[in-house]
Structure 1
Amino acid sequence: MKILFAASEIYPLIKTGGLADVAGALPLALRNKGHDVKLIMPAYQGILEKVDPILRSINLGNPFGVGDLRILETRIKENNTPIWLLQCQALYERDFGPYVDQNGQDFADNHLRFCALSWAAAKLVVDTSISEWQADILHLNDWQTGFAAAYLASWKLPHPPIVTTVHNLRYNGSFDMHKFADTQISYDLLTMHGMEFYGRFSGLKAGLVYADAITTVSPTYAREILTPEYGDGLDGVLNAMSDKLTGILNGVDYQQWNPAKDEHIAQTYDSNTLDNKNANKQALLQENKLNQDTSQLLFGVVSRLTEQKGLDLVLQALPEFLDTGVKFVLLGSGDKYLEEGFLALEKRYPQQVAIRLGYDEAYSHRLQAGVDVLLIPSRFEPCGLTQLYALKYGTLPLVRQTGGLADTVFEIGNTANGFHFEEANKEALSACMWRAMEAYRQTDKWKQRQLNAMQYDHSWESVTDNWQDLYQSLISKD
């Protein structure tokens, strides 16, 4: 099969979250199964340094009046994956990241920036004058590429089946109606049954309504988003299209996340040498100048600091545990009041708490290998990747039962590999943390949980068959 995979971020070129990990790993896994996959993404500032020399440049003209759009055909250096980069200096060559400015505010022209990306993806699957390579499947990801489905519906041209994957429904890519004229999408689509969304227009809704199949990144999240609690205003739309909705768990790239060969950690280990994990705990404590006693439980967090991730609950619950001598390390950034709250906790417990604001890929590996328990108390979590990484590292996830966390972390029975709680409040989280502390004292049972965690295969190779089956079913219908 020939698959065009469109995304706004792709690891290792650029990453702000789990979308980049998926967009980097799933196409590679599909290519390893023999499929012909190409990527399309904007040529953000600095991206050209991370790809091979440009093979071909194709001028698509100036459809949005902001400068010529160019398709640059090349390959990602690290894994040789073919990629089309959409170049437009006015839209993409900016500092501070793909979506926001130096103040953390969305770029005012984000609608135009990602309409251009979507437009280019749509053109590539219908215009043979751009490329002789023609996709059998167009795979869109989140709102930033959802507009492509609207362009194809607007143009009324034959096109391949469209799959839209929702990585996080809350980010719906909705914009003020006065900006709609900029998109050059037919006004016929601007209805409540089309891409109109509560008096605005939405890239994600377009991607849902005009797709042939909708996927989310876990089976539980696929069920949750059909409810008002998790549907973020789109539950009605999704219920109307539930026959084309399915949940497929994300995989893990075990070339990147594997304690047996991780170059970022102090001591490699696997399930047969699990005792070596303690050297990573020691190294993490030392790196952060914390008390070197490794007998006390070490909690950790790698996350965006937002209420969605339940980090306000962690901030409320931690002091009673720190007073018993446990330790805590955090890597992340986000809401200022949470950043300030965790920094205040570090100041109050300098020998037990280490806070590192921002994101550091190598340090996130060291943290995963070094902590005993990774806290992921999300109010909702479409899939979650950090708990999948933690499982491989024998680090026990402590999670709220929601989305992909509920599908992958179990506290009871022979498959127990972590800890979970149900209600999103401080009391439920604290009770679960106390259970983890009690379990930590039972050395043999703790080690069995670690071994259970490490034996699960969450590789992309293990889930690729689900994607192959979905694509093939759509091609067969077409």
Structure 2
Amino acid sequence: YVGVYSIEHEGVTYYFLDNEFYFKRDGLYGYFDDGERFTWFSKAVCLLGKHIDFKPDIIHTNDWHSALVNLYVKDFAIGDDWFKDVKTVFTIHNLKYQGIFDPVMLGEVMGVSEDYFHEHGIEFYNNVNFMKAGIVYSDSLTTVSQSYSEEIKHPYFGEQLDGIIRLQENKLTGILNGIDYEEYHPKKDGNLVANYDLRSIKRKKENKVALQKMYNLPVDENKPMIAMVSRLVSMKGLDLVAHIFDELLQEDLQFVVLGTGDSSYEDMFHYFQHKYPDKVAARIYFSEKESRQIYAGSDLFLMPSLAEPCGISQMIALRYGTIPLVREVGGLKDTVHHYDPEKKEGNGFTFTNFNAHEMLFALKEALALYKDREEWMQLIKQAMKSKNDWQESSKKYRALYQDLTKK
């Protein structure tokens, strides 16, 4: 059973597929039958066009959940000319999550020949790998930053798929994600205590004062505030924070964290909040409203990620004039550039290696610059002028689509 619904919004028709047996659940993922659920979804997507009399030029899929679309289009085209000139694009957002299932899926659920189950097909250590199906059978392969597209060709970031990605690299492109500049707009954001833009940056401090009061920190608009809004997991570089947190908190600063994740990191931040009540505010939950106030009220935004295919948080921080301090990896490397006070170039602070004291050195460099109010204001302005909306990225996707269809 497939229910099909549609709605038109701003001149675009959106279609929704319905199957209560597979998708009327509390969450999207993490069920024992995920392989079957997303096989159903992929097959339904492929067949939808024939039923509504709409033949797409391109079907663009994302991550393992819709990756089988790329295989099905090729498979259906063998016996049905309707599919022969339909092109597919597959985007990898995070190679770590691959959709790996028992090979019994192949015939019983997927309904495809064992001819696809081989080293250069969808076989992965004697299992079926949905992500690999997208990589191999798509006509064009993209990922969410130029740096990540290079990183995944190597074993450290390749999640055991680097070999097949190197074989497919001629069709691989890195195109940055972006943020909606109307949604994330410090002048219009209704979540903020004080709205501001480039011409009224001084009002940013009103948000810091409001944040200090909200989180029971001593009110001091001149005290540097470092923030993290993040899933509390190892991939986000929290082991580096744990290693130098005591040393960092000897500085005259405040540290705010918002997010949930592994209990070990949640407990760590609770511990440091108890140890340094005037310096640390740990909010172990997520609130969109509070996250906006943090983006607006903080001075530095810390993202020391072990891996970060693109990253959105640093883009939001830049938009709100909160200076990102990031590890040079994936999309962080492509969007944040180390500030050079001599040349007046750059929009944040960066460090290269996954090393706690290298991060601490960058933090101390940032805190030293913060004391120079004129220089810091220049850096805020450069951060807010950074371009991370969808304008440039959408042009690149359009060019890719045109190249695929030769239109």
TM normalised by structure 2 equals: 0.94
Contact (CA 8 Å) 1:378, 1:400: kept in 2 or not? Answer: yes
Q: Does 1:438 align with 2:398?
A: no
Query: Does the 8 A contact of 1:146 with 1:164 survive in 2?
Result: yes
Distance 2:326 2:218 in 1: 26
Question: 1:288: which partner in 2?
Answer: 215
Q: Residue 53 of structure 2 corresponds to which residue in structure 1?
A: 132
In the TM superposition, 1:20-39 aligns within 5 A as none
1:124/1:134 contact within 8 Å kept: no
Q: Does 1:84 find its partner at 2:10?
A: no
Query: 1:350, 1:177 → 2: CA distance?
Result: 53
CA distance in 2 between partners of 1:159 and 1:335 (Å):
46
Aligned residues: 398
Q: Residues 260 and 462 (structure 1 numbering): CA distance in 2 closer, same or farther, change over 3 Å? A: farther
Q: What is the Cα deviation at residue 80 of structure 1?
A: 7.5
Letter in 1 for 2:68: F
Runs of 4+ in 1 over 6 A off after TM superposition: none
Gaps in structure 2 of 5+ consecutive residues = none
Do the aligned partners of 1:304 and 1:333 also contact (CA within 8 Å) in 2?
yes
**What corresponds to 1:60 in structure 2?**
none
- The equivalences for 1:310-349 within 5 A come to 310-349=237-276
What do residues 322-374 of structure 1 show as CA deviations (whole Å, max 9, x unaligned)?
23331111111111211111121122222222222232222211111111111
The residue type paired with residue 66 of structure 2 is: T
8 Å contact kept, 2:308–2:331: yes
Of residues 373, 384, 390, the one that matches 1:454 is: 384
Partners of 1:380 and 1:262 in 2: how far apart? Answer: 30
Tell me if 1:150 matches 2:77: no
Matched, 1:395 2:326: no
Cα distance in 2 between the residues matched to 1:198 and 1:212: 24
Please, which of 306, 312, 331 is the counterpart of residue 385 of structure 1? Answer: 312
Question: CA offsets per residue over residues 56-77 of structure 1, 9 Å max, x none?
Answer: xxxxxxxxxxxx222222357x
Question: Once structures 1 and 2 are overlaid, which stretch shifts more, 352-361 or 269-278?
Answer: 352-361
Q: Does 1:116 align with 2:40?
A: yes
Preserved contact between residue 339 and residue 357 of structure 1 (Cα < 8 Å): yes
Secondary structure at the counterpart of residue 164 of structure 1: strand
Looking at structure 2, the residues matched to 325 and 94 of structure 1 have their Cα atoms a distance apart, in angstroms, of 48
Q: 1: CA distance between counterparts of 2:395 and 2:376?
A: 33
DSSP-derived class of the 1:191 partner: coil
Which consecutive unaligned segments of at least 5 residues does structure 1 have? 1-67, 100-105
* Separation in structure 2 between the aligned mates of residue 93 and residue 459 of structure 1, nearest angstrom: 34
Partners of 2:236 and 2:112 lie apart in 1 by: 35
Partner of 2:3: 70
Q: Which amino acid aligns with 1:446?
A: W
Per-residue displacement from partner, 1:406-459 (whole Å, max 9, x unpaired)?
Answer: 111111433221100011121111111111111111111111111111112211
SS, match of residue 406 in structure 1: helix
Amino acid at match of 2:402: Q
1:359-391, CA deviations, whole angstroms, 9 ceiling, x for partnerless residues?
222221111111111110011111111111111
Q: Retained in 1: the 8 A contact 2:73–2:86?
A: no
2:4–2:15 CA contact under 8 A, matched in 1: yes
> Where do 1:52-451 residues align within 5 Å?
68-75=1-8, 82-95=13-26, 97-99=27-29, 106-125=30-49, 127=50, 130-155=51-76, 156=78, 157=80, 158-180=84-106, 181-413=108-340, 414-451=344-381
TM-score by length of 1: 0.80
1:274 CA drift (Å): 0.8
Percent identity over paired residues:
36
User: 1:285–1:234: structure 2 CA closer, same or farther, 3 Å change rule?
Assistant: same
Residues 308 and 330 of structure 2 are in contact (CA less than 8 Å); yes or no, is this contact kept in structure 1?
yes
